[in-house]
Amino acid sequence: GESVGLHLPTLSVQEGDNSIINCAYSNSASDYFIWYKQESGKGPQFIIDIRSNMDKRQGQRVTVLLNKTVKHLSLQIAATQPGDSAVYFCAEGGSSNTGKLIFGQGTTLQVKP
């Protein structure tokens, strides 16, 4: 069946360091992936997305890497700030762009001042 998983439930980093959050997916036919950030009491907030015809995509302080060979993607956050503390989810958008997302269980990022 389809599943999306994250490698670590909690990641603790020092303010100013770079953070790397990993995610594995199982559906090799998926062609769209999104990273969301969820703060306590709020809904998931879009961070960055990537399509399967790309290996890397950069945003403001964030980079997503996609390795289709091993079905793995990662989110890199540069110069992590206290405001980055949240739960991060990768979501798989399947192969049909229908808006149905399959989420992993999330990684909690804790930023130490």
Partner 1 sequence: DAGVTQSPTHLIKTRGQQVTLRCSPKSGHDTVSWYQQALGQGPQFIFQYYEEEERQRGNFPDRFSGHQFPNYSSELNVNALLLGDSALYLCASSLTGTGMCTFGSGTRLTVV
Containing 99, the helix (H) or strand (E) segment is none
From 43, 69, 83, 113, residue interacting with partner 1 (rule: CB under 8 A): 43
Largest CA-CA distance found in the chain, in angstroms, rounded: 42
C-alpha distance across the termini of the chain, in Å? 41
Binding characters for partner 1, 71-90, by CB under 8 A (x = yes)? ------------------x-
The nearer residue to partner 1, 36 or 80, going by C-beta atoms, is: 36
The nearer residue to partner 1, 77 or 90, going by C-beta atoms, is: 90
The nearer residue to partner 1, 4 or 111, going by C-beta atoms, is: 4
36 binds partner 1 (CB under 8 A): yes
Q: Three-state SS for 110? A: strand
From 10, 14, 28, 46, residue interacting with partner 1 (rule: CB under 8 A): 46
Note every long-range contact of 65-71, with CB atoms under 8 Å and residues 24 or more positions apart, other chains counting. 66/33, 68/28, 70/24, 71/24, 71/25, 71/26, 71/28
> Residues in the site for partner 1, rule: CB under 8 A?
4, 32, 34, 36, 41-46, 49, 89, 91, 93, 97-106
